[in-house]
Structure 1
């Protein structure tokens, strides 16, 4: 199969024009009142009755004729005969004449003959109970809500284009409306492509390269948030006939079809061929990063947009180009722009000639000013957006953003706030429990070496460092604890591993941590000591360990390789081995230190962390 090449990439403006040309619409529907919140009215609603539909008492007290109270005061109260009671929800069975009053409840119908009421607090009951003493004078209409005072029959209640709120639901309920004409929600079919995809909840076979389907659920949430109705379809494999069948089914049932994956220039990515042959392909490729392999077209009577397969790319393209079209079709206004201005925490280089949608995080410095730092693990990393607060649009002609340069951040939502604490560094179970005691911290597990580099650049508030380090930075230590490290083996230690010597002298499969990890550094130091004892070169021992250069990022990852049978031993912590019911061969201990940016030691989040670190030794043994 021939490979599709991206020759002339469309500009972002041209991509928006192509999507606008699809004329996405959703029609009109009538929905029950209980389902109307958040929907958009398509027609004016007028009141068909008065609200309230009767003259009613505004307070608990006595209904009476106002003129019977004229001149009454504390010293000379009016004395009225009590001739009955009126309760809410009951038809009055009394008619007042001169000198008479009726006890009445809030919301009750005013009896005939009454034109005002007096609150119970301004009255006294006569000794015989048959009369009431009114200690104030009232005017006609006092403390009475007359029929139609809230909404009068024939009056405009709500106009077209109103997005129905809980307050509007209350008004419509008062008018007796049980069904509302609203703008339809565009039905959006979502099809993820790729033979490797598995629905969450099902088992994945990592040996076959299977992964969980992230895009279907992430995009569906975005569709619902934009006012659409998401419809999930079975994921399509990479075979063209199957892909065509599922896409056509979605196109027949939905106003818009969104696919993810199979849009790039790879020879096996064939979805653009389906659109070309079965519909109309308007656009293939946009000058934006991430998101270049984007498709826009029509399939049957449905609009179609093909999103990239990588989760970050898919969501950035959806948010920038597709969500506005869904909101417009649903009659929803563009959300109020939520932007903040901050300064780049460090220099960021970029020179690809495409507009860049750069996910960024926010952190406040010691003065309370907002700093902005890139959060970019690559388009295939699902955590990039979860760890980001918003997006900076970098123009295509920009080569780099300087440290301290002012940038505008489009927040993912108006309620986004910087974390109370930004920490980076070693992956550690004790640290996780300490962070659980703080309010809204953010921690990026990058390893000890990158943590010190980022602290030196002035980005995070604190860095967490384990084991020996090559180069210290200017920082204030907030606390520390010890952790025991060694080799993790299968339960029962069937290979009878006793120490590092076994990895060197025997045919054992080993899984290491990445070079950024403090555990890897301590292991390297231990191997160097052993080499010195044997009088050999350290590299000779490293080369003798099968798997020494295979490094995994997280502290549990080597242990899970052991569980899966892919390794005989892995580098890890005693706590990890005990939690996973594995054997542990101790090699040494290492300190885990929490160090702070000297300029941020007075920051509230840093002080809170220092407070919980006082319990670090206790937490380490939990």
Structure 2
């Protein structure tokens, strides 16, 4: 009578995946240097500790001036300004630009004190004796100047947990001065090939007794490395029970996952399942696929164990189908993609410069999973353009425009790049940033409520976060809303005794605002306009009496940091910022924040994930200072 052991009930592929998902494969997180971080996956969120750039700098060659001194200047009516020196990139300016003066400045140089704009060199002409410069163009404050924090604002969410670190993310981290980062651990995978017939490559082969070279150890090891794991090869073992038990127990003690190949079928000599049953927990024996039916899954001495079939094709098929995704998940790695993808333009993009253009683009999927492509262009000096873009589209010199719906080919920056599961644009909000941390692979551009509304109307993002403006005429679906308390931020002690918004008018206090595209800035503008009406003065006159009102910071945390660092006396901000940074808070108002979804994307998995996260965070929102659901 044959001593064969039949397969147990064959498991469905879905069942196999669920069982493997429950295995303890993940390794502990670790901290690595930036030079060793490529390809790793962030374990924690990284916030910007500094502004990028860290100073107001010229974005063009020309002359640093006071914008108001150029008002009215034109080709027909130029204005002469006294030349008071020059500032070059990499040096600290030692001059001050006063009324009626100008300083020569190069691209990237620090703006000298007193200057708030740059007239490009092509619109100027220096007098022969160098004493003055003739200006033939009017500029407004901020023209041709990159304000500190314009690229990345200190305190903002730079990269979230789960972000795979490619050269573009490492470039951003470098710009932020980050030296080392916390990353997900790479699971160590021990590989044991079984069978008396196996011989390692490089050793002599005796075909007369059926010897074959060990193929599986090397093909599976390559697959493990590709999936983000680290391999440890063990000597192959024959079909001897005691030797097999010894080797498997050794591997289990040293690795997060043990993979064996061979000895998984139901014959009398294939006894590996007996080892697992006696020393661990055999949870599955056999899967309903072809090839690859012989398969074991279980635990061995506290480590995960998976037994692959002996035939190389079957072993590789099972590995790629079931094991590689589990290793990628444990290491936080994304599914592999090709380096080129095809999509359709989400919006029209015009181009008339007559040169080959490598247009940075981002990608987002619609509810059907089709790829939509949108242009991303913040200027050559902006580090975040690389992070927000997935690749480039080569635009032919003779192309005048790319039409919405036109098919394009995207050259990805890396084969590892994947479209975000959720793409959002809108207001910078500290609580929403925390919610984003719970999502699988979101991309969110905190560029203001106004821009969020505009792009949502154009159909590019999945969602927009809008503060203070409500839904208005947008044809959207609301996923949730909350309120946040806003007001003025001052140092502890409030030496200027500011008690309300009106107190900063005509006071010798330096104020720092938010940018005009921010919903918080719009809330303040409305309050100031109301004050102007009460005092029967123009809004413009009231604004001019607040020192620094027109100076707008990008990030919601930027004003708080400016007050702490002594760069401003009063800042516009939220109660949560004051509470978390030890500042005093003077309340001014309550603002509603709404998450609006593109109606065509409501059923998209990433939008559903956000909707569920918003529901699960409902009871937590009230726990943040100044927030109410």
Structure 1 counterpart of 2:188:
187
Q: Alpha carbons of 1:83 and 1:309: their partners in 2 closer, same or farther (altered >3 Å)?
A: same
Aligned length: 342
Q: Alpha carbons of 1:41 and 1:86: their partners in 2 closer, same or farther (altered >3 Å)?
A: same
The reply to whether residue 146 of structure 1 matches residue 152 of structure 2 is no
Is the partner of 2:284 in helix, strand or coil?
Answer: strand
**Over residues 405-456 of structure 1, what are the superposed CA-to-partner deviations in whole Å (9 max), with x where a residue is unaligned?**
xxxxxxxxx99xxxxxxxxxxxxxxxxxxxxxxxxxxxxxxxxxxxxxxxxx
Please report how far the alpha carbon of residue 302 of structure 1 lies from its aligned counterpart in structure 2 after TM superposition. 0.5
Structure 2 counterpart of 1:219:
220
Q: Alpha carbons of 1:134 and 1:232: their partners in 2 closer, same or farther (altered >3 Å)?
A: farther
Structure 2 counterpart of 1:434:
none
Please report how far the alpha carbon of residue 110 of structure 1 lies from its aligned counterpart in structure 2 after TM superposition. 0.8
Please report how far the alpha carbon of residue 207 of structure 1 lies from its aligned counterpart in structure 2 after TM superposition. 4.6
Query: Do the aligned residues in 1 keep the contact of 2:31 with 2:181 (CA within 8 Å)?
Result: yes
> 1:81, 1:337 → 2: CA distance?
58
Structure 1 counterpart of 2:29:
28
Structure 1 counterpart of 2:312:
311
Is the partner of 2:222 in helix, strand or coil?
Answer: helix
Q: Alpha carbons of 1:125 and 1:199: their partners in 2 closer, same or farther (altered >3 Å)?
A: farther
Structure 2 counterpart of 1:74:
75
Structure 1 counterpart of 2:626:
none
- Find the structure with the greater CA-based Rg: 1
Please report how far the alpha carbon of residue 333 of structure 1 lies from its aligned counterpart in structure 2 after TM superposition. 5.0
> 2:208, 2:236 → 1: CA distance?
20
Structure 1 counterpart of 2:117:
116
Query: Do the aligned residues in 1 keep the contact of 2:24 with 2:303 (CA within 8 Å)?
Result: no
Q: Alpha carbons of 1:65 and 1:6: their partners in 2 closer, same or farther (altered >3 Å)?
A: same
**Over residues 347-374 of structure 1, what are the superposed CA-to-partner deviations in whole Å (9 max), with x where a residue is unaligned?**
xxxxxxxxxxxxxxxxxxxxxxxxxxxx
> 1:155, 1:2 → 2: CA distance?
67
Is the partner of 2:266 in helix, strand or coil?
Answer: coil
> 1:120, 1:64 → 2: CA distance?
12
**Over residues 77-127 of structure 1, what are the superposed CA-to-partner deviations in whole Å (9 max), with x where a residue is unaligned?**
332333322222211122222333222222111111211112222223332
> 2:3, 2:14 → 1: CA distance?
29
Query: Do the aligned residues in 1 keep the contact of 2:262 with 2:307 (CA within 8 Å)?
Result: yes
> 1:234, 1:89 → 2: CA distance?
59
**Over residues 40-75 of structure 1, what are the superposed CA-to-partner deviations in whole Å (9 max), with x where a residue is unaligned?**
333222221222111111122222222232222223
Q: Alpha carbons of 1:109 and 1:24: their partners in 2 closer, same or farther (altered >3 Å)?
A: same
Is the partner of 2:94 in helix, strand or coil?
Answer: coil
Structure 2 counterpart of 1:86:
87
> 1:91, 1:110 → 2: CA distance?
9
Please give the residue correspondences for 1:556-595 in structure 2 after superposition, counting only pairs within 5 Å.
Answer: none
Please give the residue correspondences for 1:94-109 in structure 2 after superposition, counting only pairs within 5 Å.
Answer: 94-109=95-110
Structure 2 counterpart of 1:385:
none
Structure 2 counterpart of 1:287:
288
**Over residues 136-169 of structure 1, what are the superposed CA-to-partner deviations in whole Å (9 max), with x where a residue is unaligned?**
1111111111112222222222223333343322
> 2:44, 2:55 → 1: CA distance?
28
> 1:133, 1:235 → 2: CA distance?
83
> 2:256, 2:90 → 1: CA distance?
48
The reply to whether residue 51 of structure 1 matches residue 52 of structure 2 is yes
Please report how far the alpha carbon of residue 4 of structure 1 lies from its aligned counterpart in structure 2 after TM superposition. 3.2
Q: Alpha carbons of 1:209 and 1:42: their partners in 2 closer, same or farther (altered >3 Å)?
A: same
Is the partner of 1:288 in helix, strand or coil?
Answer: coil
> 1:208, 1:83 → 2: CA distance?
93
> 2:212, 2:126 → 1: CA distance?
79
Q: Alpha carbons of 1:57 and 1:8: their partners in 2 closer, same or farther (altered >3 Å)?
A: same
Query: Do the aligned residues in 1 keep the contact of 2:67 with 2:141 (CA within 8 Å)?
Result: yes
Q: Alpha carbons of 1:107 and 1:337: their partners in 2 closer, same or farther (altered >3 Å)?
A: closer
Is the partner of 1:327 in helix, strand or coil?
Answer: helix
> 1:60, 1:190 → 2: CA distance?
61
**Structure 2 length normalisation: TM-score?**
0.50
> 2:233, 2:105 → 1: CA distance?
57
The reply to whether residue 325 of structure 1 matches residue 319 of structure 2 is no
Q: Which moved more, 1:16-25 or 1:147-156?
A: 16-25
The reply to whether residue 274 of structure 1 matches residue 237 of structure 2 is no
Q: Alpha carbons of 1:337 and 1:69: their partners in 2 closer, same or farther (altered >3 Å)?
A: closer
Is the partner of 2:231 in helix, strand or coil?
Answer: strand
> 1:165, 1:277 → 2: CA distance?
44
The structure, 1 or 2, with the larger RCO (C-alpha pairs under 8 Å, 6+ apart) is: 2
**Over residues 277-298 of structure 1, what are the superposed CA-to-partner deviations in whole Å (9 max), with x where a residue is unaligned?**
2222222222221111111111
**Over residues 567-614 of structure 1, what are the superposed CA-to-partner deviations in whole Å (9 max), with x where a residue is unaligned?**
xxxxxxxxxxxxxxxxxxxxxxxxxxxxxxxxxxxxxxxxxxxxxxxx
Please give the residue correspondences for 1:454-533 in structure 2 after superposition, counting only pairs within 5 Å.
Answer: none
> 2:126, 2:293 → 1: CA distance?
82
Structure 1 counterpart of 2:237:
236
Structure 2 counterpart of 1:470:
none
Structure 1 counterpart of 2:450:
none
Q: Alpha carbons of 1:171 and 1:337: their partners in 2 closer, same or farther (altered >3 Å)?
A: closer
Is the partner of 2:64 in helix, strand or coil?
Answer: strand
Q: Alpha carbons of 1:61 and 1:207: their partners in 2 closer, same or farther (altered >3 Å)?
A: farther
Please give the residue correspondences for 1:391-470 in structure 2 after superposition, counting only pairs within 5 Å.
Answer: none
Please report how far the alpha carbon of residue 304 of structure 1 lies from its aligned counterpart in structure 2 after TM superposition. 0.2
Is the partner of 2:86 in helix, strand or coil?
Answer: strand
Q: Alpha carbons of 1:71 and 1:13: their partners in 2 closer, same or farther (altered >3 Å)?
A: closer
Structure 1 counterpart of 2:622:
none
> 1:337, 1:10 → 2: CA distance?
31
Q: Alpha carbons of 1:113 and 1:227: their partners in 2 closer, same or farther (altered >3 Å)?
A: same
Q: Alpha carbons of 1:144 and 1:10: their partners in 2 closer, same or farther (altered >3 Å)?
A: same
Q: Alpha carbons of 1:232 and 1:118: their partners in 2 closer, same or farther (altered >3 Å)?
A: farther
> 1:192, 1:82 → 2: CA distance?
79
The reply to whether residue 245 of structure 1 matches residue 240 of structure 2 is no
Gapped regions of structure 2 (runs ≥ 5): 340-414, 417-629
> 2:215, 2:61 → 1: CA distance?
59
Please report how far the alpha carbon of residue 300 of structure 1 lies from its aligned counterpart in structure 2 after TM superposition. 0.8
**Over residues 497-553 of structure 1, what are the superposed CA-to-partner deviations in whole Å (9 max), with x where a residue is unaligned?**
xxxxxxxxxxxxxxxxxxxxxxxxxxxxxxxxxxxxxxxxxxxxxxxxxxxxxxxxx
Please report how far the alpha carbon of residue 312 of structure 1 lies from its aligned counterpart in structure 2 after TM superposition. 0.8
Q: How big is the alpha-carbon RMSD for the aligned residues of Structure 1 and Structure 2?
A: 2.9
Please give the residue correspondences for 1:126-137 in structure 2 after superposition, counting only pairs within 5 Å.
Answer: 126-137=127-138
Is the partner of 1:247 in helix, strand or coil?
Answer: helix
Is the partner of 2:277 in helix, strand or coil?
Answer: helix
Query: Do the aligned residues in 1 keep the contact of 2:24 with 2:256 (CA within 8 Å)?
Result: no
Structure 1 counterpart of 2:262:
261
Is the partner of 1:317 in helix, strand or coil?
Answer: helix
Query: Do the aligned residues in 1 keep the contact of 2:43 with 2:183 (CA within 8 Å)?
Result: yes
> 2:147, 2:53 → 1: CA distance?
7
Is the partner of 1:289 in helix, strand or coil?
Answer: coil
> 1:203, 1:132 → 2: CA distance?
85
